[in-house]
Amino acid sequence: MPRSTPWQTRWVSSVQQGGLVQTTSSQASGDACHVPVLLQEILDFFQPSAGMCIVDGTLGFGGHSERLLQCGAHVIGIDQDPEALERAGQRLAGFGEQFQALRGNAASLDRLAETHDSFPNQVDAILFDLGVSSWQLDQAERGFSFQSDGPLDMRMDPDQATTAAELVNQQSEEALADILWTYGEERGSRGIAKALVARRQERPFETTLDLANVIARGGRRSGKIHPATRSFQALRIAVNRELDVLPEMLGHAVRLLKPGGRLAVISFHSLEDRIVKHFLRNHSQAMVDDPTWPEPRPNPEYDFDLPAKLIQAAPEEASRNPRARSAKLRFAIRRAV
Task: Give the residues across from 53 on adjacent strands.
Answer: 74
**Residue 184 domain-assigned (yes or no):** yes
Statement: residue 24 has pLDDT above 50:
no
Which strand (E) or helix (H) includes residue 60? none
Is the CB of residue 84 less than 8 Å from the CB of residue 136?
Answer: yes
**Is the same domain home to 124 and 248?**
yes
Question: Do 222 and 153 reside in the same domain of the chain?
Answer: yes
Phi and psi, residue 78, nearest 5°: -125, 135
Assess contact for 192 and 211: CB atoms under 8 A. Answer: no
Full residue range of the structural domain in which residue 117 is found: 7-129+242-334
Q: What is the mean pLDDT of residues 152-168?
A: 93
CATH code of 208's domain: 1.10.150.170
Q: Is residue 134 one of the residues assigned to a domain?
A: no
How many domains, the chain? 2
Does residue 267 form part of some domain?
yes
Q: Which conformational region is residue 308 in: left (phi greater than 0), alpha (psi within -120 to 50 degrees), or beta?
A: beta
Answer yes or no: do 111 and 64 share one domain: yes
- If you average pLDDT over residues 98-127, what whole number do you get? 89
Given this model, what pLDDT does residue 26 score?
37
Average pLDDT over residues 118-136: 86
Q: What is the pLDDT of residue 220?
A: 64
Q: Are residues 50 and 177 in the same domain?
A: no
What is the per-residue pLDDT for 160? 87
| Same domain for 195 and 251 | no
Across the chain, mean pLDDT equals 86
Claim to verify: residue 19 and residue 107 sit in the same structural domain: yes
Helix, strand, coil percentages, rounded to 5, for the chain = 45, 15, 40
To 10 degrees, what angle do helices 189-200 and 173-184 make? 140
**Which one of 240, 268, 290 terminates a domain?**
240
Best CA proximity match to 284, nearest among 266, 299, 269, 264: 299
At residue 223, the pLDDT reads 65
- Given this model, what pLDDT does residue 217 score? 85
- What is the spatial distance between Cα 237 and Cα 251, in angstroms, rounded to a whole number? 20
* Amino acid making up residue 256: L
Check whether residue 120 and residue 249 sit in a common domain. Answer: yes
Lowest mean pLDDT segment, chosen from 50-54, 178-182, 188-192, 218-222: 218-222
Cα torsion 43, 49, 52, 57 to 10°: value is 30
Kindly compute the dihedral angle of the four CA atoms of residues 145, 148, 150, 154, in this order, to the nearest 10 degrees: 0
Helix (H) or strand (E) holding 26: helix 25-28
Residue 131 or 97, more confident: 97
Q: Do 122 and 100 share a structural domain?
A: yes
For residue 23, is pLDDT > 90? Answer: no
Report yes or no on 136 lying in a domain: no
Q: In the predicted model, is pLDDT for residue 123 greater than 90?
A: yes
Q: Specify if 113 maps to a domain.
A: yes
Query: pTM of the predicted model, to two decimals?
Result: 0.86
Residues 271 and 223 in one domain: no
Boundary (domain end) residue, out of 240, 260, 280: 240
User: How large is the average pLDDT for residues 272-283?
Assistant: 97
CATH code of the domain in which 274 resides: 3.40.50.150
- Assigned domain for 205 exists: yes
- Mean pLDDT comparison of 33-37, 131-135, 137-141, 255-259, highest-scoring range: 255-259
Same domain, 201 and 279: no
Classify strands 328-334 and 311-312 as parallel, antiparallel or unpaired.
Answer: antiparallel
Q: What is the pLDDT of residues 45-73, one digit of tens each?
A: 999 999 999 999 999 999 999 999 999 99
User: How confident is the model over 25-46, as pLDDT tens digits?
Assistant: 333 333 444 689 999 999 999 9
- Residues 117, 248: one domain? yes
- Together in a domain, 257 and 235: no
pLDDT of residue 146: 86
Contacts of 184 (CB under 8 A, 6+ apart): 230, 231, 232, 233, 234, 235, 237
Q: Domain for residue 93, yes or no?
A: yes
What is d(CA 154, CA 70) in angstroms, rounded to the nearest whole number? 33
The HSE-up count of residue 134 (CA atoms within 13 Å, CB side) is: 11
| 212-226 exposure pattern, b = at least 16 Cβ within 10 A, e = fewer | bebbbebbeeeeeeb
| Last residue in a domain, options 205, 240, 275 | 240
User: Could you tell me if residue 98 is inside a domain?
Assistant: yes
**Structure confidence by residue, pLDDT tens digits, 243-254:** 999 999 999 999
